Amino acid sequence: CGEVEGFVYRRGRNRAAAAAERKMELLSERLVTFTAPHLPGDTVTSRIERMRGAWSRMVRALAADTRRRFRGSLALKTYEGLRMVKRRQLTQWIAVNEWTPGADGLGHPHVHLWHFGAYLDHAWLVAQWAECLKLADKAIARHVAELESRDETFRPIVDVRAVRAGFVDEVTGAGQKTGKRVKIDREIYKYLTKDWADTDANRRVDPVVYAEVYAAFLGKRMRQSSSGFRDWALPKHRECP
Protein backbone atom coordinates (compact mmCIF):
# COMPACT_ATOMS: atom_id res chain seq x y z
CA CYS A 1 0.00 0.00 0.00
CA GLY A 2 2.85 2.35 0.86
CA GLU A 3 4.53 1.62 -2.47
CA VAL A 4 1.31 2.49 -4.33
CA GLU A 5 0.93 5.74 -2.41
CA GLY A 6 4.55 6.59 -3.16
CA PHE A 7 4.04 5.90 -6.85
CA VAL A 8 0.89 8.07 -6.98
CA TYR A 9 2.70 10.87 -5.18
CA ARG A 10 5.71 10.78 -7.52
CA ARG A 11 3.50 10.63 -10.60
CA GLY A 12 1.43 13.58 -9.38
CA ARG A 13 4.54 15.58 -8.55
CA ASN A 14 6.09 14.88 -11.95
CA ARG A 15 2.88 15.83 -13.75
CA ALA A 16 2.65 19.07 -11.76
CA ALA A 17 6.27 19.90 -12.60
CA ALA A 18 5.67 19.15 -16.29
CA ALA A 19 2.53 21.30 -16.31
CA ALA A 20 4.41 24.17 -14.67
CA GLU A 21 7.18 23.85 -17.25
CA ARG A 22 4.69 23.89 -20.13
CA LYS A 23 3.03 26.99 -18.64
CA MET A 24 6.37 28.80 -18.56
CA GLU A 25 6.80 28.09 -22.29
CA LEU A 26 3.36 29.39 -23.29
CA LEU A 27 2.93 32.61 -25.21
CA SER A 28 0.92 35.22 -23.36
CA GLU A 29 0.04 38.91 -23.65
CA ARG A 30 0.48 41.12 -20.61
CA LEU A 31 0.36 44.79 -19.65
CA VAL A 32 2.82 45.35 -16.80
CA THR A 33 3.50 48.48 -14.72
CA PHE A 34 6.74 48.80 -12.73
CA THR A 35 6.90 51.27 -9.84
CA ALA A 36 9.49 52.16 -7.21
CA PRO A 37 9.06 53.13 -3.53
CA HIS A 38 9.31 56.76 -2.44
CA LEU A 39 11.95 57.29 0.25
CA PRO A 40 12.70 60.14 2.68
CA GLY A 41 15.18 62.54 1.14
CA ASP A 42 14.02 61.85 -2.42
CA THR A 43 14.10 64.58 -5.03
CA VAL A 44 12.26 64.84 -8.33
CA THR A 45 15.44 63.90 -10.19
CA SER A 46 16.51 61.06 -7.88
CA ARG A 47 13.19 59.28 -8.36
CA ILE A 48 13.45 59.52 -12.13
CA GLU A 49 17.06 58.32 -12.15
CA ARG A 50 16.12 55.44 -9.83
CA MET A 51 13.49 54.22 -12.26
CA ARG A 52 15.67 54.64 -15.34
CA GLY A 53 18.62 52.84 -13.77
CA ALA A 54 16.49 49.93 -12.58
CA TRP A 55 14.62 49.67 -15.87
CA SER A 56 17.81 49.36 -17.96
CA ARG A 57 18.76 46.36 -15.79
CA MET A 58 15.26 44.91 -16.03
CA VAL A 59 15.38 44.96 -19.84
CA ARG A 60 18.53 42.84 -19.75
CA ALA A 61 16.97 40.47 -17.21
CA LEU A 62 13.87 39.97 -19.37
CA ALA A 63 16.02 39.31 -22.44
CA ALA A 64 18.15 36.76 -20.57
CA ASP A 65 15.05 35.01 -19.23
CA THR A 66 13.58 34.77 -22.73
CA ARG A 67 16.80 33.31 -24.14
CA ARG A 68 16.95 30.78 -21.33
CA ARG A 69 13.36 29.55 -21.66
CA PHE A 70 12.63 30.02 -25.36
CA ARG A 71 15.24 27.96 -27.15
CA GLY A 72 15.13 26.29 -30.53
CA SER A 73 12.96 27.01 -33.57
CA LEU A 74 9.45 26.23 -34.71
CA ALA A 75 7.39 26.35 -37.91
CA LEU A 76 5.26 29.49 -38.12
CA LYS A 77 2.32 29.68 -40.52
CA THR A 78 2.32 32.94 -42.49
CA TYR A 79 0.61 34.29 -45.59
CA GLU A 80 3.65 33.19 -47.59
CA GLY A 81 3.49 29.67 -46.11
CA LEU A 82 5.42 27.93 -43.35
CA ARG A 83 8.73 29.36 -42.27
CA MET A 84 11.11 28.50 -39.46
CA VAL A 85 11.69 31.12 -36.79
CA LYS A 86 13.61 31.16 -33.56
CA ARG A 87 11.20 30.86 -30.66
CA ARG A 88 12.68 33.83 -28.83
CA GLN A 89 11.82 36.02 -31.87
CA LEU A 90 8.15 35.54 -31.00
CA THR A 91 8.66 37.63 -27.87
CA GLN A 92 8.03 41.32 -28.60
CA TRP A 93 7.43 44.28 -26.32
CA ILE A 94 7.24 48.04 -26.03
CA ALA A 95 7.88 50.07 -22.88
CA VAL A 96 7.01 53.69 -22.07
CA ASN A 97 8.30 55.88 -19.24
CA GLU A 98 5.60 57.97 -17.58
CA TRP A 99 5.71 60.62 -14.87
CA THR A 100 2.74 61.70 -12.73
CA PRO A 101 2.78 64.28 -9.88
CA GLY A 102 2.30 61.81 -7.01
CA ALA A 103 0.84 62.44 -3.59
CA ASP A 104 3.77 64.53 -2.28
CA GLY A 105 4.30 66.55 -5.44
CA LEU A 106 7.80 65.14 -6.08
CA GLY A 107 6.51 62.82 -8.77
CA HIS A 108 5.73 59.19 -9.34
CA PRO A 109 7.77 57.93 -12.31
CA HIS A 110 6.92 54.44 -13.56
CA VAL A 111 7.23 52.22 -16.62
CA HIS A 112 4.39 50.64 -18.61
CA LEU A 113 5.32 47.50 -20.52
CA TRP A 114 3.23 45.74 -23.17
CA HIS A 115 4.69 42.28 -23.55
CA PHE A 116 3.79 39.44 -25.90
CA GLY A 117 5.87 36.32 -25.58
CA ALA A 118 7.12 33.93 -22.92
CA TYR A 119 4.82 33.65 -19.91
CA LEU A 120 5.72 36.25 -17.25
CA ASP A 121 5.56 34.88 -13.73
CA HIS A 122 4.47 37.58 -11.28
CA ALA A 123 6.62 36.33 -8.39
CA TRP A 124 9.70 36.30 -10.65
CA LEU A 125 8.95 39.83 -11.91
CA VAL A 126 8.67 41.19 -8.36
CA ALA A 127 11.87 39.48 -7.20
CA GLN A 128 13.82 40.56 -10.29
CA TRP A 129 12.53 44.12 -10.15
CA ALA A 130 13.49 44.33 -6.48
CA GLU A 131 17.02 43.23 -7.35
CA CYS A 132 17.26 45.76 -10.20
CA LEU A 133 16.13 48.59 -7.92
CA LYS A 134 18.65 47.58 -5.27
CA LEU A 135 21.51 47.52 -7.78
CA ALA A 136 20.47 50.81 -9.38
CA ASP A 137 20.14 52.95 -6.26
CA LYS A 138 22.17 52.97 -3.03
CA ALA A 139 19.23 54.51 -1.17
CA ILE A 140 17.11 51.49 -2.09
CA ALA A 141 19.94 49.16 -1.04
CA ARG A 142 20.03 50.82 2.39
CA HIS A 143 16.23 50.61 2.59
CA VAL A 144 16.33 46.87 1.78
CA ALA A 145 19.03 46.27 4.40
CA GLU A 146 16.91 48.06 6.99
CA LEU A 147 13.87 45.94 6.10
CA GLU A 148 15.90 42.72 6.30
CA SER A 149 17.21 43.70 9.74
CA ARG A 150 13.57 43.65 10.87
CA ASP A 151 12.93 40.33 9.07
CA GLU A 152 10.79 42.10 6.47
CA THR A 153 10.82 41.54 2.71
CA PHE A 154 11.25 44.23 0.09
CA ARG A 155 8.40 43.79 -2.40
CA PRO A 156 8.07 46.67 -4.90
CA ILE A 157 4.72 46.98 -6.64
CA VAL A 158 4.53 45.32 -10.05
CA ASP A 159 1.05 45.37 -11.56
CA VAL A 160 0.42 42.62 -14.13
CA ARG A 161 -2.77 42.57 -16.18
CA ALA A 162 -3.61 39.76 -18.58
CA VAL A 163 -4.90 40.64 -22.04
CA ARG A 164 -7.78 38.37 -23.06
CA ALA A 165 -9.49 38.57 -26.45
CA GLY A 166 -7.94 41.99 -26.99
CA PHE A 167 -9.26 43.46 -23.72
CA VAL A 168 -7.60 44.32 -20.41
CA ASP A 169 -8.95 45.40 -17.02
CA GLU A 170 -9.10 49.19 -16.62
CA VAL A 171 -7.40 50.64 -13.55
CA THR A 172 -7.32 54.08 -11.96
CA GLY A 173 -4.21 56.18 -11.47
CA ALA A 174 -3.91 54.60 -8.01
CA GLY A 175 -3.87 51.14 -9.54
CA GLN A 176 -7.39 50.17 -8.49
CA LYS A 177 -9.59 48.19 -10.88
CA THR A 178 -12.65 50.09 -12.08
CA GLY A 179 -14.60 46.96 -12.99
CA LYS A 180 -14.50 47.92 -16.68
CA ARG A 181 -12.54 46.33 -19.50
CA VAL A 182 -10.96 48.35 -22.29
CA LYS A 183 -9.31 47.42 -25.56
CA ILE A 184 -5.59 46.84 -25.23
CA ASP A 185 -5.09 48.95 -28.38
CA ARG A 186 -6.51 51.95 -26.55
CA GLU A 187 -4.20 51.44 -23.58
CA ILE A 188 -1.13 51.09 -25.77
CA TYR A 189 -2.02 54.16 -27.84
CA LYS A 190 -2.55 56.14 -24.64
CA TYR A 191 0.89 55.31 -23.30
CA LEU A 192 2.57 55.86 -26.66
CA THR A 193 1.38 59.47 -26.71
CA LYS A 194 1.65 60.27 -22.99
CA ASP A 195 4.96 61.22 -21.36
CA TRP A 196 3.86 62.95 -18.19
CA ALA A 197 0.79 64.45 -16.58
CA ASP A 198 0.88 68.07 -15.45
CA THR A 199 -2.19 67.78 -13.22
CA ASP A 200 -3.23 65.40 -10.47
CA ALA A 201 -6.71 65.53 -8.93
CA ASN A 202 -7.21 68.98 -10.56
CA ARG A 203 -4.02 70.24 -8.90
CA ARG A 204 -1.44 71.88 -11.16
CA VAL A 205 2.21 70.82 -10.87
CA ASP A 206 4.54 73.37 -9.31
CA PRO A 207 6.49 75.11 -12.12
CA VAL A 208 9.82 74.41 -10.39
CA VAL A 209 8.99 70.69 -10.21
CA TYR A 210 7.87 70.72 -13.83
CA ALA A 211 11.18 72.28 -14.84
CA GLU A 212 13.09 69.56 -12.95
CA VAL A 213 11.09 66.85 -14.68
CA TYR A 214 11.78 68.39 -18.07
CA ALA A 215 15.51 68.63 -17.33
CA ALA A 216 15.68 65.04 -16.03
CA PHE A 217 14.08 63.64 -19.18
CA LEU A 218 15.75 66.00 -21.66
CA GLY A 219 17.58 63.99 -24.32
CA LYS A 220 16.56 60.69 -22.70
CA ARG A 221 14.68 57.88 -24.38
CA MET A 222 11.06 57.81 -23.20
CA ARG A 223 10.03 54.78 -25.25
CA GLN A 224 11.83 51.55 -25.94
CA SER A 225 10.89 48.42 -27.85
CA SER A 226 12.17 45.06 -28.99
CA SER A 227 13.86 44.99 -32.37
CA GLY A 228 11.05 42.93 -33.91
CA PHE A 229 8.39 45.41 -32.79
CA ARG A 230 10.45 48.30 -34.14
CA ASP A 231 11.11 46.59 -37.48
CA TRP A 232 7.38 45.91 -37.87
CA ALA A 233 6.33 49.42 -36.86
CA LEU A 234 8.55 51.22 -39.37
CA PRO A 235 6.93 49.86 -42.57
CA LYS A 236 3.48 50.34 -40.99
CA HIS A 237 4.36 53.96 -40.31
CA ARG A 238 5.40 54.44 -43.93
CA GLU A 239 2.05 53.07 -45.07
CA CYS A 240 0.17 55.81 -43.22
CA PRO A 241 -1.22 58.53 -45.53
What pLDDT shows up at residue 204?
Answer: 76
Q: Do 90 and 78 form a contact (C-beta atoms < 8 A)?
A: no
What pLDDT shows up at residue 189?
Answer: 73
What pLDDT shows up at residue 25?
Answer: 53
What pLDDT shows up at residue 4?
Answer: 42
* Long-range Cβ contacts of 213-221 (<8 Å, 24+ apart): 213/44, 213/48, 213/99, 213/107, 215/45, 216/44, 216/45, 216/48, 216/49, 217/48, 217/97, 217/99, 220/52, 220/97, 221/97
Whole-Å CA distances, 155 to 32, 175, 177: 16, 16, 20
Q: Do 195 and 97 form a contact (C-beta atoms < 8 A)?
A: yes
What pLDDT shows up at residue 116?
Answer: 84
What pLDDT shows up at residue 7?
Answer: 43
CA gap 241, 239 in Å, rounded: 6
CA gap 221, 155 in Å, rounded: 27
pTM above 0.85, yes or no: no
What pLDDT shows up at residue 74?
Answer: 56
What pLDDT shows up at residue 156?
Answer: 93
Residues of the chain with pLDDT under 70: 1-26, 71-89, 170-179, 192-203, 230-241
What pLDDT shows up at residue 190?
Answer: 75
Q: Do 169 and 177 form a contact (C-beta atoms < 8 A)?
A: yes
Q: Specify the amino acid at residue 108.
A: H
Torsion of CA 208, 213, 216, 222, to 10 degrees: -160
What pLDDT shows up at residue 8?
Answer: 44
Query: Could you read off the pLDDT of 119-128 as tens digits, one per residue?
Result: 888 999 999 9
CA gap 140, 145 in Å, rounded: 9
